[in-house]
Structure 1
C-alpha cells in the first residue's frame, strides 16, 4: 500500500535519512522504533511531503508521490498526527476536528465522521465547545488523532502518540489505535515506547542514524537480543 525505496532526506547539509526502504501493507500496523535522532519523524515527514527526499521514491497505491505537495498527499488518503499533537489551542475541540475535514466537501459524511470521532473519544464530545488549549495532554492527543481521522485516511501516520502521557492514558490511546486499525485504517506508528509499539504492531523496523538496521514481525523483534537490550531495557 505504501513503500519507500532508497529514500535520502536532508536538512541542509545534514543527511538525515540514508537510503531508507520499507513497506506498509494494507490493514497492517507497522512501527518504526529507534533512539532520538534516528530519523523516525523525518521518515514520516518524507512520506507526507513536509520534507521532500533528495533521492529515492515514496509510492502510495502504486503512484509515485515523492514530489507531491502535502495537501495533495492528504487528499490521496495519508494523514499525519504530529509529534507534540500540534492542535490549534484557540479553536474549540469541534473547530479543530472540522479543520481535519478542510479538504472535504461532503458535508453529510463529515457530520457522520465527527460523530464517529465522538464515539471513539467520548471526552471530546463533553469538551466539544472548549478551546483545545484547555485540554489535558491525553485529551489533546485524542483530539489530534480525531482531527486526522476527519480526513478519512487510508493510511494514518502516528508520531509518538504516548509522549508525555500517564501510563493509564497510554493504554487507552493504544487500545483506540488498534480499534482504528480494525476499522480498516492502515497505520505507520513511530513510538519511543518500543515495548508497547511492538505489542500492537504486526511488523516493525529499527532505525539507527537514518538507516534501517533490522526489520521483521513485531513478535520476533520483541525477542531479538539487540532490540531487548537497546530499546526494551531488558537483558
Structure 2
C-alpha cells in the first residue's frame, strides 16, 4: 500500500483553479519527483499535502488514513516534513534554535539531542554555525539548515520544494547527495525540482505537472528517455 496518496485533489487560490484533479502516490522508501514549469502546480501540491492549502475536493491519505483536512502542525506530527521553496528559516534565531523549532512536538530532550546530532552528521557546516543567526548564513547553508530542521521532527516522508534554487553547482551536488543518502536509510522523499534532469537522476519515479494536471508519469528511465520530456524540460 502506498504511504501517501492523492486522489482527484482540486485546490484553488481565490478564483484560480490551481490543482485540477491531481492523483498520485508515493510508495514507502521511494524518491518521487514532480517536474513541470513555473506555475504548473508543483509547490501547490506540496502545500496541499502539508495543510497550507485546503483542497476543495479530493482526498489525501497517509498510510491509508485521511489527512485531507488536518492542520499543518498535525501533518508534521503525523510524519510529513515539508522543506518549503525559499527555505523559510527563522532568520533571527540561531541555528540551534531553528533546529529546536523543528522538534516542537517532541518532549523528550534525549530524542531531540540525538536527532540534532544526526543532523550534524549529515550537515557538518550546520554544526559549525550552531550559535550563528540563521539569517547570516549563505543560501546553501540555509538550505542545509531548513532540511535539518525538517529532519528534527523525525519524519517518514520528506517533501522538498526546489532545494537547488539559487545555489552554486557544487552546493547543489552536495544537497542531492544528502537526499540520496537519506533515502538509502529508508526515508521516503517527494521532490519538487525545476532542474528536471537532476531530479529524475535520483528518483525512482516521476510525475509531470502542467497547469494543475498530471500529464505524464513513469519511471525515471522512462521519463529521461521520453522525447517530449527531453524537449520541454531537459534541453
Q: Does 1:125 align with 2:117?
A: no
Equivalent position of 1:105 in the other structure: 107
Match of 1:67 among 66, 69, 74: 69
Match of 1:206 among 196, 205, 208: 208
2: CA distance between counterparts of 1:40 and 1:48?
13
1: CA distance between counterparts of 2:20 and 2:129?
43
Match of 1:96 among 93, 98, 104: 98
Equivalent position of 1:48 in the other structure: 50
1: CA distance between counterparts of 2:15 and 2:136?
39
Equivalent position of 1:34 in the other structure: 36
1: CA distance between counterparts of 2:20 and 2:173?
33
Equivalent position of 2:26 in the other structure: 24
Deviation string for 1:125-175 (max 9, x for gaps)? 110000001111000000000000000000011000000000110000000
How many pairs were matched up?
233
Query: Which moved further from structure 2: 158-167 or 103-112?
Result: 103-112
Deviation string for 1:42-64 (max 9, x for gaps)? 00011001001000000000100
Equivalent position of 2:231 in the other structure: 229
2: CA distance between counterparts of 1:102 and 1:129?
19
1: CA distance between counterparts of 2:131 and 2:85?
24
Runs of 4+ residues over 4 Å off in structure 1: none
Equivalent position of 1:134 in the other structure: 136
Equivalent position of 2:87 in the other structure: 85
Deviation string for 1:54-85 (max 9, x for gaps)? 00000000100001111111101001000000
2: CA distance between counterparts of 1:108 and 1:74?
20
Equivalent position of 1:186 in the other structure: 188
- SS of 2:230 mapped into structure 1: helix
Normalising by structure 1, we get a TM-score of 0.98
2: CA distance between counterparts of 1:45 and 1:127?
29
1: CA distance between counterparts of 2:152 and 2:53?
23
Equivalent position of 1:76 in the other structure: 78
Equivalent position of 2:5 in the other structure: 3
Deviation string for 1:7-60 (max 9, x for gaps)? 000011100000000000000000000000000000001100100100000000
**Alignment gaps of 5+ in structure 2:** none
Cα drift, residue 185 of structure 1: 1.1
**What do you get for the CA RMSD once the two structures are aligned?**
0.5
Cα drift, residue 119 of structure 1: 0.6
Q: Does 1:158 align with 2:160?
A: yes
Deviation string for 1:87-116 (max 9, x for gaps)? 011101111000000111121111001000
